[in-house]
């Protein structure tokens, strides 16, 4: 598998466009992704019980088994908490796009991100879809435009493409994502669209996606919340001509590996672009009694405001790490706990390691931090990623309107 220059247009027969429809004042705000042929689709959605209208509509499409041929995604308005009108607007977007592109209504997937509780400006959406359909093409620049059009508070555009080989045929996977936190309900977090030209059975695509999301997007946190709009969609249009991938076929592992890589790179890009983030933090747990315990412990650290502010201050304040571990809803023995900061053992036998604090402090001045916790109670572990909590995060989110 190799990383190639590209975006959602890297796989064969995918066209895209990103345009300014007028929802936002100046910036691009509407993306269209189109597959020349209907594509097998799989998706995962937010677990928040308050779901945005497009999520409710899309869930039906995926439940019916797809296929999907077009994706319309807008930024600037989340179409969440918009009542029945929100559902109507999402369905009208599907209908309009389907008629324009000459495809069935159910083959149009819709997504929105932006402010909660304002009605979707349908006239602008229609204008944008029309404009996007008239200029969409398979160039790298068009995929990049789509990646730009879904950004909200994101500082950086996030895209990737990879190439691998299945049954002697080159297949490609491309992806774009927006989000700079696990949640920003006021701006509706994370949207991820992944395309592939692989020939793959729907159920295999679905299980590959679940596995990949489990070890990537579900292993990051910026502020511990989940939005009303979170969506990860993968489309596979079969244009690569490989032997059909099924759950048991030899190509499945190869495809999973590539998809997981794409998800992980995009997930890490979100953390690096975390609102106001100054540090990229990796938290490794080992010696936990179970994977579930490891995850709970890792997220207890990652979501502790005190840990995050210490990281912002480049302070090796391991007391906050130990306390966060003790606060996780899992059984643990303080006497057995070992904590490493950037490779330096700072705590063992429930007491500090002499001289370690100064060494750890020196190593914390950079942009990366690795926190390793050995619970010494079992054989499970996990790795998750998060960012620090800066004064800029507070300013961004206090002033967002």
H/E element, 87: helix 83-101
Nearer to a copy of itself, 197 or 388 (CB): 388
Total of residues contacting a copy of itself (CB under 8 A): 63
- What is d(CA 160, CA 174) in angstroms, rounded to the nearest whole number? 6
State in angstroms the smallest separation of the CB of 294 from a copy of itself: 16
Give the number of other CB atoms < 10 A from CB of residue 189: 28
137 is in an annotated binding site: no
State in angstroms the smallest separation of the CB of 254 from a copy of itself: 36
Give the number of other CB atoms < 10 A from CB of residue 199: 21
**Residue 324 found at the interface with a copy of itself (CB under 8 A):** yes
**Residue 115 found at the interface with a copy of itself (CB under 8 A):** yes
Which of the ranges 4-12, 17-25, 184-192, 197-205 carries the binding residues for a copy of itself, by CB under 8 A?
184-192
Which of the ranges 95-103, 136-144, 147-155, 389-397 carries the binding residues for a copy of itself, by CB under 8 A?
389-397
- What is d(CA 177, CA 400) in angstroms, rounded to the nearest whole number? 21
**Residue 310 found at the interface with a copy of itself (CB under 8 A):** yes
Q: Which two tokens mark 125?
A: 């959406």
Active site members: 189
- What is d(CA 171, CA 168) in angstroms, rounded to the nearest whole number? 9
- Rama region for 349: left / alpha / beta (φ>0; ψ in -120 to 50; rest): left
Nearby residues of 29 by Cβ (< 8 Å), 6 or more positions away: 19, 20, 21, 22, 23, 74, 75, 76, 128, 149
Strand partners, 108: 70
152 is in an annotated binding site: yes
Q: For the purposes of burial, counting CB atoms within 10 Å of the CB of 123, is it exposed (0-12), middle (13-18) or buried (19 or more)?
A: exposed
**Residue 21 found at the interface with a copy of itself (CB under 8 A):** no
342 is in an annotated binding site: no
Nearer to a copy of itself, 82 or 164 (CB): 82
State in angstroms the smallest separation of the CB of 233 from a copy of itself: 21
H/E element, 74: strand 68-77
> Residues 352, 363, 378, 383: which binds a copy of itself (CB under 8 A)?
352
DSSP letters spanning 93-128: HHHHHHHHHTS-GGGEEEEEEEETTS---HHHHHHH
**Residue 304 found at the interface with a copy of itself (CB under 8 A):** yes
Write each residue from 222 to 261 as x if it is in contact with a copy of itself (CB under 8 A), else as -, in one continuous string.
-xxxxxx---------------------------------
Alpha helices in 150-285 (DSSP H): 202-214, 251-272
DSSP 3-state assignment of 247?
Answer: coil
48 is in an annotated binding site: no
DSSP 3-state assignment of 285?
Answer: strand
In this structure, what DSSP letter does residue 180 have?
S
Q: For the purposes of burial, counting CB atoms within 10 Å of the CB of 147, is it exposed (0-12), middle (13-18) or buried (19 or more)?
A: buried
Nearer to a copy of itself, 12 or 320 (CB): 320
Q: What part of residues 45-104 is at the interface with a copy of itself (CB under 8 A)?
A: 48-51, 78, 80-83, 85-86
> Residues 65, 214, 253, 326: which binds a copy of itself (CB under 8 A)?
326
Nearer to a copy of itself, 137 or 350 (CB): 350
Q: Which two tokens mark 69?
A: 């041929």
- What is d(CA 38, CA 104) in angstroms, rounded to the nearest whole number? 10
State in angstroms the smallest separation of the CB of 299 from a copy of itself: 12
397 is in an annotated binding site: yes
Nearer to a copy of itself, 102 or 351 (CB): 351
State in angstroms the smallest separation of the CB of 327 from a copy of itself: 6
State in angstroms the smallest separation of the CB of 78 from a copy of itself: 8
> Residues 207, 309, 377, 380: which binds a copy of itself (CB under 8 A)?
309
Cis status of the peptide bond prior to 53, with omega within 30 of 0: no
State in angstroms the smallest separation of the CB of 92 from a copy of itself: 17
Residues that bind a copy of itself (CB under 8 A): 48-51, 78, 80-83, 85-86, 115-118, 183-186, 223-228, 304-306, 309-310, 312-313, 315, 317-320, 322-327, 331-332, 334, 337, 347, 349-352, 389-391, 393-395, 397-401
The annotation places the binding site for substrate at 152, 178, 189, 275, 397
């Amino acid at each position: 598998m190799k990383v190639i220059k590209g975006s959602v247009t890297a796989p064969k027969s995918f066209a895209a466009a990103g345009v300014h429809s007028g929802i936002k004042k100046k910036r691009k705000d509407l993306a269209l992704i189109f597959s020349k042929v209907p594509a097998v689709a799989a998706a995962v959605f937010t677990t928040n019980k308050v779901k945005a209208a497009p999520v409710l509509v899309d869930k039906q499409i995926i439940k019916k088994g797809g296929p999907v041929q077009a994706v319309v995604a807008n930024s600037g308005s989340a179409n969440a908490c918009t009542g029945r009108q929100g559902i109507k607007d999402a369905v009208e977007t599907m209908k309009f796009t389907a008629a324009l592109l000459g495809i069935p209504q159910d083959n149009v997937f819709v997504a929105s991100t932006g402010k909660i509780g304002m009605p979707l400006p349908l006239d602008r959406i229609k204008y944008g879809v029309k404009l996007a359909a008239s200029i969409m093409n398979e160039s790298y620049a068009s995929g990049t435009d789509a990646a730009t059009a879904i950004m909200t508070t994101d500082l950086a555009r996030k895209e990737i493409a990879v190439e691998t080989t299945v049954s002697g045929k080159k297949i490609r996977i491309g992806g774009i994502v927006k989000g700079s936190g696990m949640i920003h309900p006021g701006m509706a977090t994370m949207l991820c669209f992944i395309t592939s030209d692989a020939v793959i059975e729907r159920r295999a695509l679905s299980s590959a996606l679940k596995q990949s999301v489990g070890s990537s997007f579900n292993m990051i946190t910026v502020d511990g919340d989940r939005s009303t709009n979170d969506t990860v969609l993968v489309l596979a249009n079969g244009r690569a001509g490989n032997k059909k991938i099924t759950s048991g076929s030899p190509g499945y592992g190869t495809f999973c590996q590539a998809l997981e890589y794409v998800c992980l790179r995009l997930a890490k890009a979100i953390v690096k672009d975390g609102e106001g983030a100054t540090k990229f933090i990796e938290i490794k747990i080992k010696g936990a009694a179970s994977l579930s315990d490891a995850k709970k412990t890792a997220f207890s650290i990652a979501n502790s405001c005190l840990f995050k502010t210490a990281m912002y201050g480049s302070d090796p304040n391991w007391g906050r790490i130990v306390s966060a571990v003790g606060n996780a809803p899992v059984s643990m023995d303080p006497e057995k706990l070992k904590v490493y900061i950037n490779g330096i053992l700072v705590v063992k036998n429930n007491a500090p390691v002499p001289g370690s604090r100064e060494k750890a402090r020196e190593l914390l001045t950079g942009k990366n931090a690795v926190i390793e916790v050995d619970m010494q109670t079992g054989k499970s572990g996990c790795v998750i990623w998060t960012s620090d909590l800066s004064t800029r995060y507070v300013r961004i989110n206090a002033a967002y309107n």
